[in-house]
Copies of this chain bind each other. A is one copy, B any other.
Amino acid sequence: MAKAAQSAPTVAPGVSHALSNDRLLSMYRVMVLARAIDERCLSLQRQGRIGFYVPASGQEAAQIGCAAALRDEDWIFPAYREIGIALWRKVPFRALMDQFIGNSTDRVKGRQMPNHYSFRDHNFVSASSPIGTQITQAVGAAMAIQRRHVPQVTATFFGDGATSSNDFHAGMNFAGVYRTPTIFFCQNNQWAISLPRNRQTHSATLAQKAEAYGFSGVVVDGTDVHAVYDAVATARERALAGEGPTLIEAQVYRFGPHSTSDDPHRYRSDADVAEWKRKDPILRLREELRTSGALSDETESQLQEAVKREISESIEAAEGAPALDPMTLFDDTFAQRTPRLEEERAEFQRLLREGVIRP
Contacts and interface: CB of A to CB of B under 8 A. Distances in A.
A147 to B, nearest CB: 18
Contacts of A173: 164, 201-202
A193 interface: no
Interface residues on A, range: 20 to 34
A176 B209 CA distance: 13
Interface in A111-150: none
Given A169-B169, A173-B164, A173-B201, A212 B214 contact: no
A199 interface: yes
Interface string A218-239: 0000000000000000000000
Contacts of A201: 173, 176-177, 212-214
Given A166-B166, A176-B201, A211 B212 contact: yes
Number of copies: 2
A215 interface: yes
A212 B200 CA distance: 12
A7 interface: no
A328 interface: no
A214 B203 CA distance: 4
Given A166-B169, A209-B212, 5 more contacts: A166-B170, A176-B201, A176-B202, A177-B201, A203-B212
Contacts of A200: 177
Interface string A325-352: 0000000000000000000000000000
Q: Which 5 pairs across A and B sit closest by C-beta, in order of nearness? A: A202-B214, A176-B202, A169-B169, A212-B212, A166-B166
Given A166-B170, A169-B166, A173-B164, A203 B211 contact: yes
A203 B169 CA distance: 13
A139 to B, nearest CB: 13
13 contacts: A164-B173, A166-B166, A173-B201, A176-B202, A177-B201, A201-B214, A202-B214, A202-B215, A203-B212, A203-B213, A203-B214, A204-B214, A209-B211
Contacts of A202: 173, 176-177, 179, 213-215
Contacts of A168: 169
A214 B198 CA distance: 11
A169 B162 CA distance: 12
Nearest to A167: B166
A208 interface: yes
Nearest to A175: B202
A201 B200 CA distance: 24
A182 B355 CA distance: 62
Tell which of A176, A208, A211, A213 has the most Cβ of chain B within 10 Å. Answer: A211
